[in-house]
């Protein structure tokens, strides 16, 4: 039985004061929903500078927090980077790897992402590994090839799948207001689960959570959750407003 997960990627948003206000509103909203933490896991991914204060802000609540990125080396001459041990020291439980903005804006290659997944899992953290095709790739009928290659590259080395969450995020749906239909999302999720099954066996694949991401909003979260292989959502824009993210958490908990 897979417990659904609602995850919020803050991207490069929120000052410290804004972050504290958002977490406090989320905490209040979750407290007003008795039993919600038994039905859904909630994770937030603030910018790196906020990880230590967020650790304090979420303390005693069901909210888990993680980093949006981390370097694969533990330390060294990598100006501007933050390592997995540094992230872990904040109390973060998880790291996003392979978000489309990391792949396409910052040019992170399959090789870099493979090393990042290994570093995150090697440190005992959970890895939310993002995969997804561009619009050109979808229109060329290459979605499964691209997503399959992304899975093979990062997870082909015999990883501990128990601490891996997959986020299927079609690039054309991220921050565009254009969402995959529930059928399109389910089809991609079923493909991902089948690929994980080939790689790790049926029971490991059946236990792995696969999130959908790409313009998830309060108005479409429930229909996206209807797919049997959709185990939650990774939300960008809509997680920055407490009431919107809480409405999405409700939809995920009900799904």
Give residues in contact with ligand PEP (CB under 6 A).
9, 11, 99, 169, 174-175, 213-216, 234-238
Q: Nearest distance from residue 213's CB to ligand PEP, in Å?
A: 4
Of 45 and 200, which CB lies nearer to ligand PEP in the complex structure? 45
Q: Nearest distance from residue 173's CB to ligand PEP, in Å?
A: 6
Of 227 and 236, which CB lies nearer to ligand PEP in the complex structure? 236
Joined together, the tokens standing for residue 132 give 């997804």
Q: Nearest distance from residue 179's CB to ligand PEP, in Å?
A: 8
Active site residue 169: yes
Give the Å distances, CA to CA, from 153 to 7, 109, 111, 135, 205: 24, 10, 7, 21, 17
Joined together, the tokens standing for residue 166 give 């997959």
In this structure, are residues 155 and 136 in contact, taking their beta carbons and an 8 Å threshold?
no
Task: Give all strands (DSSP E) within the chain, no chain letters.
Answer: 5-9, 41-45, 63-67, 94-97, 126-131, 164-168, 210-213, 232-235
Active site residue 13: no
Q: How far apart are CA 237 and CA 223, in angstroms?
A: 18
Joined together, the tokens standing for residue 76 give 């060294």
Task: Give all strands (DSSP E) within 81-207, no chain letters.
Answer: 94-97, 126-131, 164-168
Of 96 and 151, which CB lies nearer to ligand PEP in the complex structure? 96
Of 174 and 249, which CB lies nearer to ligand PEP in the complex structure? 174
Q: Nearest distance from residue 69's CB to ligand PEP, in Å?
A: 12
Q: Nearest distance from residue 171's CB to ligand PEP, in Å?
A: 10
Catalytic residue among 99, 101, 137, 189: 99
Residue nearest to ligand PEP (CB): 236
Catalytic residue among 71, 133, 169, 189: 169
Within 13 Å of residue 12, how many CA atoms lie on the same side as its CB? 2
Of 9 and 114, which CB lies nearer to ligand PEP in the complex structure? 9
Task: List, in order, residues 6 or more apart from 131 with CB less than 8 Å away.
Answer: 98, 147, 150, 151, 166, 167, 168, 169, 192
In this structure, are residues 233 and 213 in contact, taking their beta carbons and an 8 Å threshold?
yes
Q: Catalytic residue numbers?
A: 99, 169
């Amino acid at each position: 039985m897979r417990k659904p997960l609602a995850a919020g990627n803050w991207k490069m948003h929120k000052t410290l004061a804004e972050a504290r206000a958002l977490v406090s509103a989320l905490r209040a909203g979750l407290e007003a929903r008795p039993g919600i933490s038994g039905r859904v896991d909630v994770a937030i991914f603030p910018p790196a500078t906020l990880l230590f204060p967020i650790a304090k802000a979420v303390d005693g609540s069901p909210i888990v927090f993680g980093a949006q990125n981390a370097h694969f080396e533990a330390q060294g001459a990598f100006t501007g980077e933050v390592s997995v041990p540094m992230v872990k020291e904040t109390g973060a439980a998880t790291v996003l790897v392979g978000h489309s903005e990391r792949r396409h804006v910052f040019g992170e290659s399959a090789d870099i992402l493979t090393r990042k997944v290994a570093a995150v899992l090697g440190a005992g953290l959970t890895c939310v590994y993002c995969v997804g095709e561009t619009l050109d790739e979808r229109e060329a009928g290459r979605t499964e090839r691209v997503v399959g290659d992304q899975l093979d590259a990062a997870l082909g080395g015999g990883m501990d799948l128990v601490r891996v969450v997959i986020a299927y995020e079609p690039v054309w749906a991220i921050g565009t207001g254009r969402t995959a239909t529930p059928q399109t999302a389910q089809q991609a999720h079923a493909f991902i689960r089948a690929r994980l099954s080939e790689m790790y066996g049926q029971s490991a694949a059946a236990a792995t959570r696969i999130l959908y991401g790409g313009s998830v909003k309060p108005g479409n979260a429930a229909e996206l959750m209807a797919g049997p292989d959709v185990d939650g959502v990774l939300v960008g824009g809509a997680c920055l407003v407490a009431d919107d993210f809480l409405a999405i958490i409700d939809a995920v908990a009900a799904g």
